[in-house]
Amino acid sequence: MRVRASFFVLFSLSCLLCVLLSSAQQLPPDAVVSARLLDSHLQDSAFRALFSPITGVPYDAQVPTNLSGIKVSAMRLRSGSLRTRGVLSYKEFEIPIGVVEKPYVERLVLVYQNLGNWSDQFYPLPGFSYLAPVLGLLAYSGINLSASELPELDIRASEKPVLVNFPHVRPAPLGALAKCVYFDLHGSVQFDTLLPGNVCSTMQQGHFSIVVESNAPSPAPSSGGEFQDASGKNNKKNNKFMLRILAPCVVGGIVLLIIILGLLVVLVRRHTKGTRMQQLECVAYSNEIMDMTSIGDIKVPLAFGTRTRPMIEHDYFP
């Protein structure tokens, strides 16, 4: 009975652990269906990285495994410091003096996004090909770092523009003109001139990248190979996605199966040993000649008197 109860408990724990492993490391397949929902999930991930943060220090965050390839960071700032000092370098962004937010908050959090190979999936741009990953910069209230699904603050540069430096850009096809593209939070798309050094400029927050018209000749592959267009690789992504879903359950199941088998072997051995000891005790008690009595948990022989009393052989006394 004890063996059955222990097996049931171990089986329940194994199922629970498998569910926790799969749910903690990934989002449901239909959880992210748009760029705005992605912003909400990445904001939640970024805020979890801010545990007792130091003002002005960026903290890299972990994203769910089925969004692997996306990079997220968070940096907490004082509103007055952002306005009077700016941020010299936050990843690829240079934030100048004079950036203000609406509505006003005492502290705010700047969330950085690098969508990598997911750029084309969340920000499709028909007729254009990406030469660089989509980079995002969004501002949120930094009063409550445990909050989720926060609305974005409206931040704007009042004097100089915010600069976005793209370090890894594929070369444009011969004769094609690379452009900066800007996606605002309402779905609008704007194009702008690419500055020397692969730099784009903006006066407000949003998502940015460098594109080229796709009817131009195919661009040469980048030597760094750090960014690839995601089009034409959906099957490969789906396969990787399924592997990321199944791998935690398979590994966790194998480990728990080994643990369960080991515990079962120990329980069976103990049960067998206990049964054998009981049998030996029964045989010993059935063959006894003398009476037995119990002292505590132990049974010992009992004799009420000696069988032959001693007798004096002669009457000699010294």
46-60, 167-181, 250-264: least confident range? 250-264
Q: What is the bridge-based pairing of β-strands 93-95 and 189-193?
A: unpaired
What pLDDT digit, counting tens, does each position of 211-221 carry? 999 875 555 55
Q: How many percent of the chain have pLDDT more than 70?
A: 68
pLDDT tens digits, 189-245: 999 999 999 999 999 999 999 999 987 555 555 444 445 444 444 445 555 555 655
Ordered alpha helix ranges (H), the chain: 2-24, 35-48, 79-85, 119-122, 234-286
pLDDT at 187 over 90: no
Chain centre distance of CA 212? 35
Answer yes or no: is pLDDT of 116 > 80.
Answer: yes
Cα–Cα distance between 119 and 141 in angstroms, integer? 26
Contacts of 137 (CB under 8 A, 6+ apart): 90, 93, 110, 111, 112, 113, 162, 205, 206, 208
pLDDT, greater one: 281 or 146: 146
Least confident interval from 21-35, 157-171, 267-281: 21-35
pTM over 0.75: no
d(CA 147, CA 77): 17
Quote the CA–CA distance of 161 and 287 in Å, as a whole number. Answer: 101
pLDDT at residue 181, rounded to an integer: 96
Higher pLDDT, 180 or 273: 180
Q: Are strands 179-183 and 189-193 parallel, antiparallel or unpaired?
A: antiparallel
Using the predicted structure, report yes or no on whether residue 135 has a pLDDT greater than 80. Answer: yes
Query: What does the pLDDT look like over 60-105, one tens digit per residue?
Result: 999 988 888 999 999 999 999 999 999 999 999 999 999 999 999 9
Q: Which residues, at least 6 apart from 80, have a Cβ–Cβ distance to it below 8 Å?
A: none
The per-residue pLDDT for 147 is: 86
What's the pLDDT score for residue 271? 81
> Residue 24 pLDDT > 50, yes or no?
no
Compare 98 and 16 and report the one with higher pLDDT: 98
Give the three-state DSSP class for 152.
coil
| CATH architecture assigned to 31-231 | Sandwich (2.60)
pLDDT attached to residue 314: 60
CA distance 244 to 58: 28
Domain map of the chain by residue range? 1-29+232-304, 31-231
How confident is the model over 110-122, as a mean pLDDT? Answer: 94
pLDDT tens for each residue of 42-59: 999 999 999 889 999 999
What pLDDT score was predicted for residue 104? 93
- Residue 262's pLDDT is 85
